[in-house]
């Protein structure tokens, strides 16, 4: 069995890379910027694929996430992909900083394509998540929420309107892109997201994100330890 994590930022991945002592495989995806880490947990192969960096900065966003996911699935053939990272959320929906959620759906919130129903449906995404997500969330006592993805860290009024219309609860920059690629290959995908900023707090998004990033990533590490234990011991693949 092989579990493959797709992660955008080094800060999001480093705590549990260190926790499991998994090693970097140099040049595996060259010339692409994606980076591969590999190890073994409970007799299961564990991969972490980072989007990579350019000019010393993490490659965040949909394009980099799609490239990383496509490369990982084609080269590694995982049994399940886990998109793990940080996100924004909403205080009015009960969210708090460093709270970890399991995704129960995923869509884009910043794609406004006029036209017939097919174009509209395609632009939203609404890709499937792993069918075992509810059972995992229940067993680990984690909340569930719908992930919505956009290409910007901040949120415009039209983005908020789309999120509210479709019941979004968690706002990120990669999830739906990862889900799109997984849907093409029919690879199960699990979302594990930790809150860095509250979209309705009135605070400036980047400042709140930066202030809470470490705390959210530590919570993410703890949750992922539980997730990996669950996937490797309690799921019959």
- Three-state secondary-structure class, residue 123: helix
Selection from 186, 187, 194 nearest residue 227 by Cα: 194
| Residue 197 annotated among the catalytic residues of the structure | yes
- Residues whose CB falls within 8 Å of the CB of residue 123, separated by 6 or more in sequence, listed in order: 108, 111, 112, 113
Measured CA distances, 210 to 70, 101, 174, 203, 213 (Å): 29, 19, 18, 12, 5
Which entry of 110, 169, 197, 208 is annotated as an active-site residue? Answer: 197
| Residue 12 annotated among the catalytic residues of the structure | yes
Which entry of 12, 58, 174, 208 is annotated as an active-site residue? Answer: 12
- Three-state secondary-structure class, residue 110: coil
Q: What is the largest CA-CA distance in the chain?
A: 50
* β 23-25/170-172 pair status: unpaired
- Residues whose CB falls within 8 Å of the CB of residue 19, separated by 6 or more in sequence, listed in order: 221, 225
H helix runs in 39-174, sequence order: 62-76, 117-124, 133-140, 157-165
φ and ψ of 62, to 5 deg? -65, -40
Residues designated as active site = 12, 197
């Amino acid at each position: 069995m092989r579990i493959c994590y797709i992660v955008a930022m080094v800060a999001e991945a480093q705590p549990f890379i260190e926790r499991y002592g998994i090693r970097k495989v140099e040049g595996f995806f060259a010339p692409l910027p994606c980076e591969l880490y590999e190890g073994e947990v409970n007799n299961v192969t564990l991969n972490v694929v980072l989007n990579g960096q350019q000019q010393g900065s993490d490659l965040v966003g949909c394009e980099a996430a799609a490239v990383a996911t496509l490369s990982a699935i084609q080269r590694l053939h995982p049994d399940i992909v886990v998109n793990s990272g940080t996100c924004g959320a909403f205080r009015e929906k009960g969210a708090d900083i460093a709270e970890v959620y399991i995704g129960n759906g995923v869509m884009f919130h910043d794609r406004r394509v006029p036209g017939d129903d097919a174009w509209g449906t395609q632009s939203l995404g609404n890709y499937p998540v792993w069918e075992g997500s509810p059972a995992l969330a229940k067993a680990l006592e984690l909340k569930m929420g719908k992930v919505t993805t956009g290409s910007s860290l901040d949120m415009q009024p039209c983005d908020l309107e789309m999120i509210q219309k479709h019941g979004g609860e968690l706002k990120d920059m990669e999830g739906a892109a990862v889900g799109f690629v997984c849907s093409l290959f029919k690879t199960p995908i699990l979302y594990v997201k930790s809150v860095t900023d509250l979209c309705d707090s009135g605070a400036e998004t980047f400042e709140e994100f930066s202030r809470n990033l470490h705390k959210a990533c530590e919570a993410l590490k703890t949750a992922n330890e539980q997730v990996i234990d669950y996937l490797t011991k309690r799921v019959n693949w």
